[in-house]
Chains A and B, each alone.
Chain A
Amino acid sequence: MAIDKHSDSAIFRRGIWQDNPVLIQMLGLCPALAVTNTVKNSIAMGGATLFVLVCSSVLVSLVKNLIPSEVRISAYILIIATFVTLADMGLEAYVPEIHKALGAFIALIVVNCMILGRQEAFASKNTPRKALMDALGTGTGFMIALLMLGAIREIIGMGSFFGISLFGPNYAKWVVMILPPGGFLTLGGILLFIAWRESKRTEAAK
């Protein structure tokens, strides 16, 4: 591969697939399982997380030299919590329906290990520009994973996509798919598929 691994676009793309936070790194699984029963919820959760991740990464990268290393984790959490509260208030004021649907999970973005992980592993060691690209990539990757889960679960569990009915009123809804077990089943299925594809590829490379 002739592409520069450190270029902005390479950093951006890495988070989307190669190092996808949910599907490859297995980070941020709690929201990924808990609120992905419809496409709408997935988009809202992905969007809120992306917002928090981008703002926190850029800010952490900007102030990285001002924070003594002993208290850096506390400082990151403080920064993340502030942006989460902003997102929480913003959603409640401007899109209250979605805020209602996501409930407590917005506040729990604070403890999404994916976000803290990016601060510690990347933003605190790189320039704001690179931190921005990394956060955008990781956040988009998170959103894509949530959308995959949300789409599969909503289509099977409710027979609809983004609230639009697909199969008519006679479709026997597979309710378990929008309940918590459906989250695990779907994630397991997706991971199985990815692992299977990966093993095919390494086999072919031999």
Chain B
Amino acid sequence: MSDIEETTKPSTAIDDAPEEKSTSSFVMIATLGVAGLLAGLLLVVVDGITAPRIAKYRKQQQELAAKEVLGGEGRILRIEKFAFVDGSLVPITVDDTGQESPSTDSPIFRGYDANNVLLGYAFPGAEFGYADVIPIVIGYSPSTHSLLGMKVLGNKETPGLGDNIVNDEHFANQWPGKTAPLVQMKGNASLANEVDTISGATISSSAVIRGMNRAIELYKPAIDALESSDSQAAVSATKSEKEAG
């Protein structure tokens, strides 16, 4: 073709590299060592810039999803964060530097509406689907012991089939009022503990339901315990009309 040669031909074999005077091992190691060092430095610098942004975005997403399963962002006035430590919920406090303690990757949210009435709790769950782990957030009302909602946080399920756990409206909206443990049905759910899977996305949708059951089993005792102790404290202190959960 031309002298700025295009070598998609197998002339790329090691032995026809330009003009052989053999290079000492030291030079080779030094070259790659220096290159690796420079690459590492660059990555550390960029990671320092992007990591806080990524962490902040994750927090925002968690909080947004929590508000959504608690009944929509518009309804929420105040939201509190808890960490799940040794089977009970510990309030997360933020110090002056923005550091949270106790720190957790999967906080539990408690939301109140504009009249300061408790809406419920939002907590995370996860279960293996068809392709990968499906992370979810579950909204739960301790006063009625029933669900408020569920949101799939992200999924790598098969586009067009498994990812209907996000796109299927019946599946996405069937949760409010349901009570755990949930029983899987095939489109004919009627009782309070029955929910439908999605035909064509059976593995993914039943994984979501399993994940919900597991998360509820894990967090429900802690939430109910916190609620009853909180409401007792509230009643004895202020005789407020807070509903005992």
- Say whether A68 contacts B31, CB under 8 Å: yes
Which residues of B lie under 8 Å from residue A75 when comparing CB positions?
A: 31-32, 35
Chain B hits for A125, CB < 8 A: 4-5
Nearest B residue (CB) for A176: B160
Chain B residue nearest to A14 (CB atoms) is: B6
Q: Check if B47 sits within 8 Å of A89, measured CB to CB.
A: yes
Judge whether A78 and B31 touch: CB under 8 Å.
no
Q: A70, B39: Cβ atoms under 8 Å?
A: no
A117 at the interface (CB under 8 A from B): yes
Partner of B17, one of A72, A175, A178: A72
Which residues of A sit under 8 angstroms from B17, Cβ to Cβ? 69-70, 72
Known: A78-B39, A92-B54, A120-B12. A130 touches B4 (CB 8 A): yes
| Band of interface residues on B | 35 or more
- What residues of chain A lie closer than 8 Å to B160, measured between beta carbons? 157-158, 173, 175, 178-179
Partner of A120, one of B4, B7, B154: B7
Whole-angstrom distance between the alpha carbons of A97 and B46 in the complex?
A: 20
- Flag if B50 contacts A78 (CB, 8 Å): no
Chain A residue numbers with a CB within 8 Å of B85 are: none
Given A79-B39, A173-B160, A178-B159: A93 and B5 within 8 A (CB)? no
Check if B8 sits within 8 Å of A86, measured CB to CB. Answer: no
Please state if A93 and B53 are interface contacts (CB–CB under 8 Å).
Answer: yes
Chain A residues, Cβ within 8 Å of B172: none
A72 to B85, CA, bound (A): 51
Nearest B residue to A157, CB-CB: B160
Give chain B residues whose Cβ lies under 8 Å from the Cβ of A122. 4, 6
**A103 contacts chain B at the CB level, 8 A cutoff:** yes
Chain A: CB-nearest residue to B53: A93
A24-44 near B? 1/0 per residue, CB < 8 Å: 010000000000010000000
A175-B32 CB under 8 A given contacts A78-B39, A79-B39: no
Determine the distance from Cα of A68 to Cα of B18 in the docked complex, in whole angstroms: 10
Are A70 and B23 in contact (CB-based, < 8 A)? yes
Q: Is the CB of A66 within 8 A of B161?
A: no
Q: What's the nearest-Cβ distance from chain B to residue A163, in Å? A: 13
Complex-state Cα separation, A70 to B16, whole angstroms: 10
Does any Cβ of B come within 8 Å of A94's Cβ? yes
Looking at B3, B6, B18, the one whose CB has the most chain A CB atoms below 10 A away is: B6
Least distance between B42 CB and chain A CB atoms (Å): 6
Chain B residues whose CB sits within 8 angstroms of the CB of A179 once the complex forms: 158-161
| Cα–Cα distance between A96 and B47 once the two chains are bound (Å) | 15
Q: Which residue of B lies closest to A100 (CB)?
A: B154
The answer on a CB contact under 8 Å between B8 and A68 is no
Q: Mark B3-35, 1 if CB is under 8 A from A, else 0.
A: 111111000101001100011000110011001
Kindly list chain A residues whose C-beta atoms are within 8 Å of the C-beta of B27.
Answer: 68
Contacts of A111 in B (CB 8 A): none
A67 within 8 Å of B (CB atoms): yes
**Which of B4, B39, B50 meets A82, CB within 8 Å?**
B39
Contact A89 B50 (CB under 8 A): yes
| Chain B positions 192-243 with a Cβ under 8 Å from a chain A Cβ | none
CB of B42 within 8 A of CB of A82, answer yes
Which of B7, B12, B22, B50 meets A90, CB within 8 Å? B50
Task: Tell me if B2 counts as interface (CB < 8 A to partner A).
Answer: yes
The listed residue (A11, A19, A37) touching B159 by CB distance below 8 A is A37
What residues of chain B lie closer than 8 Å to A120, measured between beta carbons? Answer: 7, 12
Q: List 28 A-B contacts (CB under 8 A).
A: A5-B2, A6-B2, A66-B31, A67-B31, A69-B17, A69-B23, A71-B28, A71-B32, A72-B17, A75-B31, A78-B32, A81-B39, A82-B39, A82-B42, A85-B43, A86-B42, A89-B54, A93-B54, A94-B53, A96-B57, A100-B154, A103-B156, A117-B8, A122-B4, A122-B6, A125-B4, A179-B158, A179-B159
Other than the given A121-B7, A122-B6, 18 more pairs (CB < 8 A) read A5-B1, A6-B3, A11-B4, A66-B31, A70-B14, A75-B31, A75-B32, A89-B47, A89-B51, A92-B54, A93-B57, A94-B53, A121-B5, A121-B12, A125-B5, A158-B160, A175-B160, A179-B161
Sort A-B residue pairs by CB-CB distance and give the 4 closest, nearest first.
A69-B17, A93-B50, A175-B160, A68-B23
